[in-house]
Amino acid sequence: MDLFFDILFEGISIGSVLLIAALGLAIVFGLMGVINLAHGELIMVGAYSTFVTQLIFKQPFLKPFYGSYIIVSIFVAFIFSACVGILLERLIIRKLYGSPLETLLATWGVSLLLQQFVRSIPLAIGPGIIITFISGISIKNIVNTKFTNYAQKKYIDLSIWVFSVFLGIISTNSIALNISRLSRADSRNVDVTAPKWMRGPIEIFGETFPKTRLWIIFITLTSVIVVLIFLNLSEWGLRIRAVTQNRSMSECLGLSTKKVDTLTFALGSGLAGVAGVAVSLLGSVGPNVGQNYIVPCFMVVVLGGVGNLIGTVIASFGIGIMTDLIGAGRLISIWPDMPNALANIVNFFATTSMARVMIFTLIIVFLQFKPSGLFPQKGRMVES
């Protein structure tokens, strides 16, 4: 029974990280059909946002609240990654709809650009860019200019963005002056330290579990519940589901599919940022951290069924349990009298990297018989 609980807990732990990383990709890929190879870098952005938030909370005026930095970092990472996603969608992907190969190459180039950005540019510039972006959008919505004269409106919009850039520069300089670690470029990996209340073991029903893993599972389940509530009970969630099922009919009914695409990309990118918070609690964070998750994320989405969140959940936990069974050599413990030939094969794949190869192979074989995944997407656009 102890072995069963160990396998179940470790599998859910691995699957929860995969789920929160793949959740945003499932939404974007399911609605827009965009193969976003920069999704891993959005996870990396969320992880670095957690690191920056941690450093800010180490300052004297926030040090009494240091234990709550991880909660704040979830919202910061979501907003930061969502803003990056909006910029990516508006500047690049929107111009490449209907061209999957060009979109794939463009997002791959963006992923390389973001990796080099982190290596070469001080991290303090990141918050400055986001402050510029958020302040510009917020001031425009507050002012809400409705001039009939295009020249006047253009002048006011330009003034707003100039002020926002000025505000971002001041914020960047202020952060760099107060936190020396953020004032220089550094390509080395950085570490995020979990607060005391998230460290150590906890005993539940006589079994000992690490608190960090339990909190990651909690963050994942909370994210899934919030996304399901948003998609099923909110007005914009209804619009997203309508566009997913039939984009042409949604346009005919007056829905702005461009706004829906932007919101969807922001939501998917923000969830990638939340995944970055979870990833930062598991180990060091570096420019290449997102590359470890991009391929597994796509495998989860394809196995579960493109655009199906329930399928994504089941696929994530299934892959997590299989990873623990194969990679940790649990099969030998379950079947100690295994024939030597079979035991040698099991031992050969009893590493994380080789277990991933075996799992991907099994998924490919499964897709030969059910190419649409566990839960195929339904809708007129799919049927056509």
The full DSSP string for 281-294 is TTS-B-TTTTHHHH
Q: pTM for the complete prediction?
A: 0.85
Q: Output DSSP code: residue 195.
A: P
Q: In a structure prediction context, what are the per-residue pLDDT tens digits for the chain, which is 384 residues long?
A: 466 777 777 788 888 888 888 888 888 877 677 788 888 899 998 998 898 888 888 888 788 888 888 999 999 899 889 988 888 888 888 888 777 788 888 888 888 888 888 888 777 777 777 778 778 777 777 776 555 566 667 777 778 878 888 888 887 777 777 776 776 766 678 888 888 888 887 877 777 778 888 888 898 889 889 988 988 888 888 888 888 777 778 788 777 778 888 888 889 899 999 999 988 888 888 888 888 888 888 888 888 887 677 888 888 888 888 888 877 777 777 777 777 777 787 777 777 778 788 888 888 888 888 887 877 766 544 444
pLDDT, position 144? 66
CA–CA distance, 305 with 302 (Å, rounded to integer):
5
Question: 175-199, pLDDT tens digit by residue?
Answer: 777 776 776 766 678 888 888 888 8
* Coil vs helix vs strand at 335: coil
Give one DSSP letter per residue of 65-121, joined into a string: GGGGHHHHHHHHHHHHHHHHHHHHHHHTGGGGTT-HHHHHHHHHHHHHHHHHHHHHS
pLDDT digit string, tens, across residues 193-249: 888 888 887 877 777 778 888 888 898 889 889 988 988 888 888 888 888 777 778
What does the alpha-carbon distance between residue 286 and residue 123 come to, in Å, rounded to a whole number?
12
Q: Report the candidate in 119, 124, 122 with the shortest Cα–Cα distance to residue 172.
A: 124
